[in-house]
Structure 1
Amino acid sequence: MFEIRPYRPDDLPALHDICLKTGDGGQDATHLYRDPKIIGEIYAAPYAAFHSDCAFVAEDAAGVAAYILGAPDTRAFEARCEAEWWPALRTRYPDTADVPSWKRTRDEWDAFHIHRPPATPQAVVDLAAAHLHIDLLPRLQGRGIGKALMDRWLAHVGGRAHLGCQAGNTRAQRFYELYGFRRIEGVGPRSVVWMAIGA
């Protein structure tokens, strides 16, 4: 049994945990990080802070094990993060631009990202202004919960959205394509697969 419900502030530790445990192409990234919170500070916590109305979780008897988060206006979200989210994190995580890229650890890459957050390609935003992140721990995968979360979130934002997926995470890409997302070709680095729905 599981329940899909709106996010509550006391769910934030679970968001951090899920983000870390799905942070390596959908697999557990715990072994890759010295700081277990840094990845969640980029991909989960700002959505809970700025768009809690667009955040839903799936909870079973053991606790929250999945979430879907996002922003209805990507450019406005990026601007708000620059003004209100990244500055505090930049004091906690020093810039790692002086570390050669081939030597950076995952923590150092995420710190680099905090100081230089990449903007979503304009061609992607033009197709669908909203964007989302969805992650499920293994115990909730393959049970229709991802679809239920997606149904709930897209109904909330009006049915149009985009997302970026790590190129190596082929399982997630198959799920998105079966759900109805289509690939957006020719944008951004090859390490990210951009997809949109309702556009």
Structure 2
Amino acid sequence: MIRPFHPADVAGIYRVCLLTGEAGRDASGLYRNPDLLGHLYAGAYPVADPSLTFVVADDEGIAGYVVATADSLAFARWLDEHWWPTLRAQYPRVPDPGDGTQDHVLIDRLHDWSATPEPQYDEFPAHLHIDLLPRLQGQGWGRRLIATLSDALRARGVPGLHLGVAEANAGAIAFYAKVGFETYAHRDWGRTLTLPL
């Protein structure tokens, strides 16, 4: 069942983020700290605007979610003021330990994140992150989460939505194309996709 976010969902959202964090696959082996991915890509959204977070819950718990902001630039400024300072203090930069773990990469990312306008913000100001555990994939839940979020954004008069996806995540790229996203730009890390609302 899809339902609006409840504060009790945070741990489940972080868990799903980690279990899908390596281009859709389990990223648990890459990180000593299991919370870092969630801190970067999921946790701030329901804190900043809980009405744009929706979860899929079944009898085993949270199995998927979509988190979003209606205004990416305003959200980036909110992160700078309310989210990053505490995390930057808690997680000082560390060198690569050379053991294959990637915590240092995410810690660098949270220190380097900046509120920089992107070209797509005028036409597609909203952005999202969506993840589903394998047990829900291929059953239409992703499409329903996107539709639920799109309805909420349209109700606010938001004209468009964007997201970033790694080029290695071919399954996600194919899924987004099926629900109407188009490639806006290719980046060194992947591509930006957009959806008019």
TM over 0.5: yes
Structure 2 contact 93–108 (Cα < 8 Å) conserved: yes
Q: Are 1:137 and 2:133 counterparts?
A: yes
Query: Map of 1:90-105 to 2, 5 A cutoff?
Result: 90-96=88-94, 99=95, 105=101
Question: Is 1:163 aligned with 2:163?
Answer: yes
After superposition, the Cα gap between the structure-2 partners of 1:121 and 1:177, relative to the gap in structure 1 and judged at 3 Å, is farther
Percent of aligned pairs sharing the same letter: 35
Write out aligned runs for 1:28-39 (5 A): 28-39=26-37
Equivalent residue for 2:150? Answer: 154
Q: Does 1:113 align with 2:109?
A: yes
| Contact 1:6–1:55 under 8 Å retained in 2 | yes
Question: Kindly tell me: are residues 119 and 157 of structure 1, through their superposed partners in 2, closer, same or farther at Cα, counting changes over 3 Å?
Answer: same
Equivalence for 1:198 = 196
Tell me the alpha carbon deviations over residues 71-90 of structure 1, each in whole angstroms, 9 at most, x when there is no partner: 00000000000001000001
How many residue pairs were aligned?
192
Question: Gapped runs of 5+ residues in structure 2?
Answer: none
Structure 1 unaligned spans of 5+: none
Which whole-Å CA distance do the structure 2 matches of 1:67 and 1:44 have between them? 9
Report the Cα offset of residue 125 of structure 1. Answer: 1.3
In 2 relative to 1, CA 108–49 (structure 1 residues): closer, same or farther, beyond 3 Å? same
Offset, 1:126? 2.5
Can you list the C-alpha shifts for 1:114-155, whole angstroms capped at 9, x where unaligned? 111155662121330000010000000000000011100001
1:25 aligns with one of 23, 41, 46 = 23
Report if the CA contact (8 A) 1:167-1:190 is conserved.
Answer: no
Partner of 2:176: 176
How far did residue 63 of structure 1 move? 1.1
Q: Is the 8 A contact 2:54 2:149 kept in 1?
A: yes
Normalised to the residue count of structure 2, the TM-score between the two structures is 0.92
* Partner of residue 15, structure 1: 13
Aligned to 1:44: 42
